[in-house]
Amino acid sequence: MSSDTDKIIIAIDGYSSTGKSTMARALASTIGYRYIDSGAMYRAVTLWAMRHGLIGADGSVDTEALAAALPAIKIDFAVRPDGSQLTTLNGEVVESAIRTLEVSAHVSPVAAIPAVRHALTRMQREMGATKGIVMDGRDIGTTVFPHAEMKVFCDASAEKRASRRLLELQAKGENVSYDEVLENVRSRDYIDEHREESPLRCAPDAVRLDNSDMTKDEQNAFLLSLFHNTIARLHANG
């Protein structure tokens, strides 16, 4: 484990369902850092918009009403006794409610709204103010923390990612087909890469990780070794 003076910011970005959250959480737990799932924050805003009728049957979002409501949307993370985190929306635990396919289907357009991005970026920077944080998302190394000391960009084939996501959804009892999940993965990739505000990009100084054929243990070992190398490099540079 690192000493407090060594504490850095670790940004883990990449495509959906690349296992970023799992590996970011494992790394944070091993090195004693706080883990923040920024995607959960976009999902929580989406859930709030769905519950308040701001997403139409055609999937369109009432952008103005949502932007006006942002000050009333409080997102935080409660910590379970085992150290894992539960997303809260205005004090209510919404960890399961934000992981449904319905929320997944609406989250990308919500995450493309500049006012939403600005509000969440501000909250994320506050969470990282004291460093010692592992945050995963799409724009953490490019926009939220462009000076993060360690940046990783994850990728894997869309088919591999859809298979992983399908297993997760089936384990939760959701009745979805592989084709539906693959379509959702592809459409989210497209929106994430093509939105005007903070599109999904690999930061020039990020280390790329294609985990299509890696086990979880291999990923964890890769990240831990990168962390130790980063700390050693920072020490060497004074």
Which residues make up the interface to ligand DC (CB under 6 A)?
16, 38-39, 42-43, 107-108, 111, 137-140, 188, 192
2 backbone φψ class: left, alpha, beta (φ>0; ψ -120 to 50)? beta
Residue 35 vs 42, nearer CB to ligand DC: 42
Shortest Cβ 154–ligand DC spacing (Å): 10
Cα distance between residue 82 and residue 159, in whole Å: 33
End-to-end CA distance of the chain: 19
Nearest alpha-carbon partner for 145 in 38, 3, 28: 38
Closest to ligand DC by CB, 107 or 150: 107
- In angstroms, give the least distance from the CB of 174 to ligand DC: 15
Nearer to ligand DC, 95 or 149 (CB): 95
List Cβ neighbours of 49 (8 Å cut-off, separation of 6 or more): 55, 61, 62, 66, 106, 110
CB of 169 to ligand DC, least distance (A): 12
Question: Radius of gyration of the chain from Cα atoms?
Answer: 17
Nearer to ligand DC by Cβ, of 135 and 231: the residue is 135
Can you read off the two tokens belonging to residue 144?
């939220």
Provide, rounded to whole angstroms, the least separation between the CB of residue 146 and ligand DC.
13
